[in-house]
């Protein structure tokens, strides 16, 4: 009926169908029954043909059919709309990094980066997670990033060249841009070939990565810290990048953020945890400590495949269990919070990758159970 509203890519996983709409870079998850109705709507020659097929073939009443037509049309138009809160501002020619800034050097193996922060407040958005890589030497600096504010806009310059500008209320977009530029540099990759950056924590051994997703406050980062304290490795915390050429997840050097509610527990698990500096994160002034990975960055594995995603939920008094989860439950959390490349070939690669992934749900109140569960998952991955 209206091919302009049709999804570009369609993938069935488990009991769900995932649709990708190119003009909006929007993924939506529907049941097979709903997809059959969407497909029927799109393939009908005219609205009258669609309404007639609902009544004659599916037994709809006339009013029900008319209402469904209205709902499907609204759904498809919304899925195709390019609505987003991300506003990448044009950078005026007279905008330049400030002459006075807070310059900090970071070294990742033999790669050096200089970041010039325009204020202490801006520094607080980026530096605490990377402080363990800061250095007193400016040798081997291969990239310079300037992050500063002018009026109500935050700017990111790369090697003194304008790169990004966002409203201050959307500061997390500058954080994402910074993370992507840093990842691109330290892994020597092509910026246009990053397939996705997932809002997820990822742990690994030397062969396989497992991604942790869940609602904010469900204990992803705390569990990641626990797992690394028991012999596993942190590949990334909160920002997990995937490269299109190899579909690998790449290491991002952030420390793990631990909120105040987990301080006592972590102090019993991690030596000298109490000596870590406490920071105040975001507008809520949440107490946070940043725990660096215990693995030496220079010798650590830099990229690994991932075929397992675990939805994590901590409950102080709940039962502990590990079970298979539906793709819908996992993807309803993973996709909305992540950046996925708008290139059609990348969207297809993403969907093809998802088809190979195992989905689990971990509910836990007992830390020992959670640690044992992840050891089981790594063993299962090694056996495949």
Cα separation of 41 and 55, whole Å? Answer: 13
What pLDDT was estimated at residue 83? 58
* Residues in the chain with pLDDT values less than 70: 1-2, 82-88, 281-285
Please report the pLDDT score of residue 14 as a whole number: 87
Hey, how many other C-beta atoms are within 10 angstroms of the C-beta on 330? 24
So what's the pLDDT on residue 95? Answer: 92
pLDDT of residue 384: 77
pLDDT for the residue numbered 219: 80
User: How far apart, in whole angstroms, are the C-alpha atoms of residue 159 and residue 181?
Assistant: 11
Structural tokens at position 105: 């050097």
For the record, the structure tokens of 158 come out as 């790369």
Q: How far apart are the first and last CA of the chain?
A: 45
Q: How many alpha carbons fall within 13 Å on the CB side of residue 341?
A: 22
Q: What is the spatial distance between Cα 384 and Cα 363, in angstroms, rounded to a whole number?
A: 24
The predicted structure's pLDDT at residue 218: 78
C-alpha closest to that of 267 among 276, 279, 256, 254? 276
Distance CA 275, CA 66 (A): 65
pLDDT of the residue at 116: 98
State phi, psi for 52 to the nearest 5 degrees: -65, -40
A 10 A CB-CB count for 128 gives 21
In DSSP notation, 119-150 reads SHHHHHHHHHHHGGGEES--TTEEEEEEEEEE
The runs of H, that is alpha helices, within 171-234 are: 171-186, 220-229
22: helix, strand or coil: coil
277-285 contacts at long range (C-beta below 8 A, 24 or more positions apart): 277/128, 279/124, 279/128, 280/124, 281/257
User: Which stretches of 177-285 are assigned E, i.e. beta strand?
Assistant: 194-199, 201-204, 209-213, 233-236, 239-243, 249-250, 256-259, 278-281
Nearest to 309 by CA among 254, 369, 355: 355
- Is the CATH number of domain 194-383 3.40.50? yes
- Domain coordinates in residue numbering, the chain: 3-80, 102-186, 194-383
Cβ atoms of 251 and 206 within 8 Å: the answer is: no
Return the ∠ at Cα 266 (arms to 262 and 270), rounded to 5°: 165
* pLDDT at position 72: 96
Task: Give the C-alpha separation, 289 to 257, whole Å.
Answer: 6
Rounded Cα gap, residues 149 and 157, in angstroms: 11
Its pTM stands at 0.92
SS3 state of residue 234: strand
């Amino acid at each position: 009926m209206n091919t302009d509203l049709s999804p570009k890519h369609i993938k069935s996983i488990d009991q769900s169908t995932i649709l990708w709409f190119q003009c909006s870079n929007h993924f939506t998850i529907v049941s097979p029954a709903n997809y059959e109705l969407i497909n029927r709507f799109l393939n009908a020659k005219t609205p009258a043909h669609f309404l007639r097929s609902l009544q004659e073939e599916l037994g709809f009443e006339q009013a029900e059919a008319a209402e469904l037509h209205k709902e499907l049309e609204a759904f498809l138009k919304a899925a195709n709309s390019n609505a987003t809160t991300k506003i990448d501002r044009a950078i005026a020619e007279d905008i330049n990094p400030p002459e006075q800034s807070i310059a900090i050097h970071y070294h990742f193996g033999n790669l050096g980066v200089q970041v010039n922060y325009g204020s202490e407040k801006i520094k607080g958005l980026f530096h605490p997670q990377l402080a363990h890589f800061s250095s007193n030497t400016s040798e081997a600096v291969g990239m310079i990033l300037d992050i500063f504010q002018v009026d109500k806009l935050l700017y990111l310059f790369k090697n003194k060249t304008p790169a990004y500008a966002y409203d201050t209320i959307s500061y997390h977009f500058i954080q994402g841009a910074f993370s992507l530029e840093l990842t691109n540099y330290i892994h020597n990759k092509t910026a246009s070939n990053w397939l996705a950056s997932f809002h997820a924590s990822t742990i690994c051994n030397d062969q396989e990565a497992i991604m942790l997703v869940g609602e904010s406050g469900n204990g992803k980062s705390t569990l990641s810290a626990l797992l690394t304290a028991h012999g596993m490795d942190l590949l990334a915390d909160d920002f997990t990048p995937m490269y299109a050429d190899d579909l690998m997840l790449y290491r991002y050097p952030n420390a793990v953020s631990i909120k105040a509610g987990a301080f006592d527990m972590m102090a019993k698990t991690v030596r000298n945890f109490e000596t870590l500096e406490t920071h105040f994160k975001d507008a809520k002034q949440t107490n946070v400590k940043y725990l660096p990975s215990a693995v030496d960055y220079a010798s650590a594995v830099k990229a690994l495949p991932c075929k397992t995603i675990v939805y994590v939920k901590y409950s102080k008094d709940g039962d502990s269990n590990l079970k298979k989860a539906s793709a819908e439950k996992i993807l309803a959390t993973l996709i909305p919070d992540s950046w996925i490349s708008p290139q059609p070939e990348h969207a297809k690669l993403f969907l093809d990758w998802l088809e190979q992934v195992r989905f689990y749900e971990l509910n836990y109140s007992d830390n020992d159970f959670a640690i044992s569960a992840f050891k089981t998952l790594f063993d299962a991955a090694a056996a495949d």
